[in-house]
Structure 1
């Protein structure tokens, strides 16, 4: 059969068929009055903004430059442990890349990342924040905020700018506190003291 013959055969088969006039949809009436439930949901949505459980600073922080070194440790972190972290001698168990994020996005990601590290027992991680060298004002914005945020998280024991092969001053090694589960496991293995 040629294309013309097929078309004629199709039209012959469809001879008695008529188009449906009504749309093939169910019409549902929209209630015109708002119920008390509707009004309450509207009121609560407008009145109470969602609670932000993220404790990280959202205010202005001290600006840092591209080549500034990040270095901080909580009291009680042994010097040898901090030295190994600073030299990048601990295996990197996870990484978070903040490149191309806004400060608000990075704030959420850092908070979630550190909490996940504690949850999964990850102790030595790296966060790539970039140097901010392309910024016209010379301020490394994410780096500046990260330096403040990491000190605000109880789960962070120490941090230091990475070695050159891991990103240098555009990345930071982070030492994360053990979870309670891991602490308990160590007590069981080595006897409680």
Structure 2
């Protein structure tokens, strides 16, 4: 050991000498086989209190901004006609909508959807129509003729939902070639951008 240290002091140690010296000094050292860190594990069972707090946290992060009714509504049958217009909509405009004389710019098909799925789709669809400037659209809701009770469930909810949306100006059951009482024409209000463009166009004349 002294000879090795002497070599190191005089600067004459080779890399091999240094490695041998290191191994000699570390011969009594043993590796720690268990990791030197805390063991953290999640509880195997969550109490009802934990679950309730988790649900409350999720609800607080993602509130339901959808205003459409989720509870029971008045039932409609296959042959019931949907018809509604917001005050201020001109009769001539509503007549053209009822007769299917406006070009259909977009469609939403609610067939085979649950009520909750349809609720989300209708809300998002109308918002998208406003965003992209689509005025005359159609929603296919089905007639419910195969239901044992004869109730057209999605149609019944849709009749309640559409007037709840401020962006909907009017709606009416479609003409036969567009689905008849299994579909509905919907007139959507102009977006703020469209209104501004119209003001600029008419103001420039």
Aligned to 2:147: 135
* Residues 1:159 and 2:168 are matched in the alignment: no
Residue by residue over 1:86-107, the C-alpha shift from the partner in whole angstroms, topping out at 9 and shown as x without a partner, is 0000000000000000000000
Displacement of 1:47: 2.0
Matched, 1:180 2:189: no
Higher normalized helix content (fraction of residues): 2
Work out whether 1:72 is the aligned partner of 2:81.
Answer: no
Normalised TM-score (structure 1)? 0.78
Matched, 1:46 2:55: yes
Question: Across the two proteins, how many residue pairs are aligned to each other?
Answer: 158
Match of 1:146 in 2: 158
Stretches of structure 1 that go unaligned for 5 or more consecutive residues are 1-28, 35-40
Which residue number in structure 1 is paired with residue 70 of structure 2? Answer: 58
Report the TM-score when normalising by structure 2: 0.73
Larger radius of gyration: 2
CA displacement 1:50-85 (0-9 Å, x = unmatched): 311000000110000000000000000000000000
CA distance in 2, matches of 1:114, 1:74: 16
5 Å-filtered alignment, 1:100-111, equals: 100-111=112-123
1:31 and 2:43 correspond: no
RMSD (Å) for aligned C-alpha atoms: 1.9
* 2:17 match: none
Instruction: Structure 2 unaligned segments of length 5 or more: list them.
Output: 1-37, 44-49
CA separation in 2, counterparts of 1:67 and 1:42?
46
